[in-house]
Amino acid sequence: MITTILTAATILCTLSPSSPTTDRYKGWVMANVEIACPEDIQFLRDLGAKSLACYDHPGQTQMLMTEKMAEKARLHHIATKVTERDIASYIKKIDQVRSEARNSGVGGWYSDFKTWPEVNLHLQQLANSDPDIASVFEVGTSHEGRTIWGIKITSPGDATDRKRILFNGCQHAREWIAVMVPVYIAEHLIEGWKNNPEIQSFLDTTEVVIVPIVNPDGYEFTYAAGGDRFWRKNRRNNSGSCEGVDLNRNWDIDWNGGDSTSTSTCSDVYVGPSVFSEPETQAMRTLIESLPNFVTHIDFHSYSQLILKAWGYTSTPHPDDEILQALGEAMHDGYQSVHGEQYTVGTPGDVLYYADGTFQDWTTSVGALGYTVELRPTGSPGFDLPPSEIVPTCEESFEGVLAMMRFVSNPVSISFPNGLLQFVNPGEIHELSVSMQSPLGGSIDPTTANIHIRYGETGTEATIPLQHNGGGVFTANIPGSLCGLSTKYWFDVETTSGQYQRYPTGDTVLTASASQLIEEFTMDQNPNWSTEGLWSWGQPTGGGGQYGNSDPTSGASGNNVIGYNLNGDYENNLSEKHIVAGPFDLSGTQNTQLQFSRYLNVEQPAYDHASISVKGDVGLWQTIWTNQSEITDSQWQTVSYDISAVADNASSVSIRWTMGSTDTAWQYSGWNIDDVSISASVEAGVVGDVNCDGLVNVKDILTIISSWGPCEGVCAEDIVPDENINVSDLLLVIANW
Ligand SMILES: [Zn+2]
């Protein structure tokens, strides 16, 4: 099916970005507001301030308000910092950046945000180029008569029994990145079908339905001359002073329930005159009711970097919460794998506020696994994401979507709620939490859940049942060889109907390297690192905390730490101040990791900065971490960083922590650091060498025979790690003689 939706002539008018008139917000300012509780939000709404978040939430949030409202907020003890005094020039500035990005052409079609006609044309071109697998279709018509377009993608052949997955964007007009991402997914699924066997096999069993712009009227209004860049709702004429309904409050799931909803037509969360009152939500409902085997759904929004699962309207967990969580974590891992960005998984109530009448809850209520993904950034500059971040956001979203497709394609999804192991310490057993979920109504047979372990590349594998903790939750006990070989491992399980799943797939295995502690600083004594500004060693005094939390009163271990101003907050208008550890000789190391205990409070990076960098033999400082949002630690936590790219096998490695730069207001208590260590992998042992003397000989045979029998924990003689010193260990010695 090919439907012509536009002619090229229509497009010529929109080649350069157009923007709303800039005098709409004359006298208004943009402000960062510190929200402590829901009452603060209500107070600001009652004043007439306009929140720029997709979901209102505690902590820092961006709002539009007049200077008078800002003054009233401060009198009400709501910390309010004006960031833009002139909205018109703010919009001009953004237009300028967009024009430059579009003219540069970097990122191709994704160099800049695209209007409704541009998106429609691109969808049509994608379908025209591969009509065997892609077709454009009409979902419905908006209030103002615009067509809502979708694209369906699946392998040729009878699609009747295939699973259906839905991705949509732009229920909320101003969240522009949420349009670019679904278009990118469509384009790269079509591309992948031609050259990526995994995507081919997904599309053999799945039809992907994509609707990039659910709310074309609102979306066009955010670009139009005389429109409003900050518009969120659709464009219903409410026959009064205010237009629009919040489409993401109009769905039939606890509609108008009072959580983040309003019956005022002027509110940004106006629920509409009745449930499903809007042609846009009606059209999407009709589409979904026409999809058999509808299994999963993502409703894209921005911003905050969140993966929100059902339920959004209640604290009662969904009956399939373990599956919703496991799929959320799989998507998180997909997102993180591309550019390292964190997307927090939880219900709206876990991470923000409850919200009634949302799309994700409705699709979940009709049997799919429904999610809201809030895209980049975490905070400032909100939905005005710089165009240079369109492609990275699309790239990581595509990996998130592939993780979702893998999850619904595999009979069992295997994931690791606390991550995988980097290291095992020789002679210790490490517990690894394993989640095994059968996503689509099947169930796993817990008696078939195993870990397969060997020591070193050529060791013999032992099979050990996982410890079952109920539901899909298991624990694997992973030992480290006493002789310093790496531990290789993988998992498998079957469903009750006999379907098999391995992790990782194929014949690859996971590796936990034997670790060697190279440097350790407990901070019980002064390490005498070189310092600038208020960096020092000693006991913190619990001071500071004008914003965020005050300093701790002792270390993570012992009393002393390294900290920036042990007696209070960092200064305003600070330039970068470093503390430098090293240089360390790390010659011969592999897989070098930095670990330390952190207690950090710092304002979001639009204003204040905290960072860590590493310098190796090349002699240039490389940043390995910098705050991506406001950080308000209230307890010590252990953090680890992979510094192998700079530090592996380098003869002179320095590490520095940096406080600053900071801006003119809002002080926080800054860095506190304890228990710093540097570790690296070693592959010290020889397979078959029971007594760790570097030789495989008769002494090893005799050692095995003298310890014959069951082994509790890790035993040197148990070189095939099956908790038995037996003939398999003997055979491995002989094989490596
Ligand atoms: Zn939104």
User: What's the pLDDT score for residue 635?
Assistant: 95
CATH number for the domain spanning 575: value is 2.60.120.200
Indicate if the pLDDT at residue 207 is higher than 50.
yes
How many angstroms is it from 55 CA to the middle of ligand 1?
7
Does residue 14 surpass a pLDDT of 70? no
Q: How far is the CA of 365 from the centre of ligand 1 (A)?
A: 20
What is the band of 716 on the pLDDT scale with cuts at 50, 70, 90? confident
Min mean pLDDT across 8-12, 377-381, 463-467 is at: 8-12
The rounded distance, in Å, linking the Cα atoms of 256 and 105 is 44
**Structure confidence at residue 560 (pLDDT):** 97
Looking at the domain assignment, is residue 438 inside a domain?
yes
Query: Which tops the pLDDT comparison, 635 or 15?
Result: 635
pLDDT at 464: 94
If pLDDT is split at 50, 70 and 90, which confidence band does 194 have? very high
Do 656 and 570 lie in one domain? The reply is: yes
Confidence at 56, pLDDT banded by 50, 70, 90 = confident
Is 80 exceeded by the pLDDT of residue 16? no
Q: Cα–Cα distance between 265 and 249 in angstroms, integer?
A: 13
Q: Which residue has the higher pLDDT, 22 or 534?
A: 534
Beta bridge partners of 286: none
- Among candidate residues 468, 488, 493, the one with its CA nearest the CA of residue 478: 488
DSSP structure class, residue 651:
S
More confident residue, 7 or 709: 709
Specify the CATH number for the domain of residue 66.
3.30.70.250
CA 213 to ligand 1 centroid distance, Å: 12
Q: What's residue 508's pLDDT?
A: 84
Contact 366, 288 (CB under 8 A): yes
| DSSP codes, 81-130 | EEEES-HHHHHHHHHHHHHHHHHH-TTGGGGS---HHHHHHHHHHHHHH-
Residue type present at position 48? G
4 Cα to the center of ligand 1, angstroms: 30
pLDDT of 19: 54
DSSP state, residue 253: S
pLDDT given at position 2: 40
Expressed in angstroms and rounded, the spacing between residue 387 Cα and the centre of ligand 1 is 19
Contact indicator for 389, 377 with CB cutoff of 8 Å = yes
Q: What number is the average pLDDT over the span 139-152?
A: 98
SS (H, E, C) 562-592: EEECCCCCCCCCCCCEEEEEEEECCCCCEEE
What local confidence, expressed as pLDDT, does residue 441 receive? 64
Q: What does the pLDDT read at residue 379?
A: 83
Ligand 1 centroid to residue 376 C-alpha, Å:
12
Same domain, residue pair 527 and 616? yes
| 18 within a domain of the structure (yes/no) | no
In this prediction, residue 7 has a pLDDT band, given cuts at 50, 70 and 90, of very low
Same domain for 631 and 543, yes or no, is: yes
- Within this chain, do residues 61 and 102 fall inside the same structural domain, yes or no? no
Full residue range of the structural domain in which residue 404 is found: 97-304+329-343+366-409
Same domain, residue pair 338 and 214 = yes
Question: Is 125 contained in some domain?
Answer: yes
Q: Is 374 a catalytic residue?
A: yes
Residue 715 CA, ligand 1 centroid: distance in Å: 56
**Number of domains comprising the chain:** 5
- 571 pLDDT exceeds 80? yes
What pLDDT band is residue 629 in, cutting at 50, 70 and 90? confident
- The pLDDT confidence band at residue 615, using thresholds 50, 70 and 90, is very high
Q: CATH code at 483?
A: 2.60.40.1930
Asked whether residue 18 carries a pLDDT value surpassing 80, the answer given is no
Which comes out higher in pLDDT, residue 234 or 197?
A: 234
CATH number at residue 129: 3.40.630.10
321-330, 570-579, 617-626 — most confident range: 570-579
Give the confidence band of 20 by pLDDT, cuts at 50, 70, 90.
low
Alpha carbon of 42 to ligand 1 centroid (Å): 19
Q: Which of these is catalytic: 34, 341, 374, 519?
A: 374
Domain identity same for 298 and 438: no
Q: Return d(Cα 328, Cα 191) in angstroms, integer.
A: 25
* Complete edge-to-edge strand list for the sheet that includes strand 306-309: 134-141, 147-153, 206-211, 163-169, 294-302, 369-375, 306-309, 344-346
Read off the DSSP letter of residue 484. Answer: -
Does residue 21 form part of some domain?
A: no
Residues 543 and 663 in one domain: yes
- In this structure, the answer to whether residues 192 and 282 fall within a common structural domain is yes
In the structure, what pLDDT confidence band is assigned to residue 618 with cuts at 50, 70 and 90? confident
Proportion of the chain in helix, strand, coil states, percent, rounded to 5: 25, 30, 45
In a domain, 259, yes or no: yes
Over range 171-192, report the average pLDDT: 98
Inform me whether the pLDDT recorded for 496 exceeds 70. Answer: yes
| Section 352-367 average pLDDT | 95
Among 669, 671, 534, residue whose Cα is nearest residue 596: 671
pLDDT averaged over every residue in the chain? 92
State residue 22's pLDDT score.
58
With respect to residue 250, please indicate whether it lies within any of the assigned structural domains: yes
Tell me, yes or no, whether 603 and 725 share the same domain: no
Tell me if the pTM is above 0.75: no
Residue 282 has what pLDDT? 98
Distance 573 CA to ligand 1 centre (A): 35
What is the C-alpha R_g of the chain? 28
For residue 607, give every residue at least 6 positions away whose Cβ sits within 8 Å of its Cβ, in sequence order, or none: 662, 663, 665, 666
Contact 326, 413 (CB under 8 A): yes
| Domain assignment present for 91 | no
CA distance 251 to 359: 6
Ligand 1 centroid–CA 274 distance in Å is 20
| Residue 507 pLDDT grade (very low, low, confident, very high; cuts 50, 70, 90) | confident
Residue 728, domain member (yes or no): yes
One domain, residues 490 and 575 = no
Ligand 1 centroid to residue 422 C-alpha, Å: 37
Distance 302 CA to ligand 1 centre (A): 6
User: What is the band of 225 on the pLDDT scale with cuts at 50, 70, 90?
Assistant: confident
- What pLDDT is recorded for position 11? 37
Are 178 and 254 in a shared domain?
Answer: yes
Residue 640 has a pLDDT of 87
Mean pLDDT of all residues in 724-731 = 92
292 with 400, same domain: the answer is: yes
**What average pLDDT score do residues 634-656 get?**
93
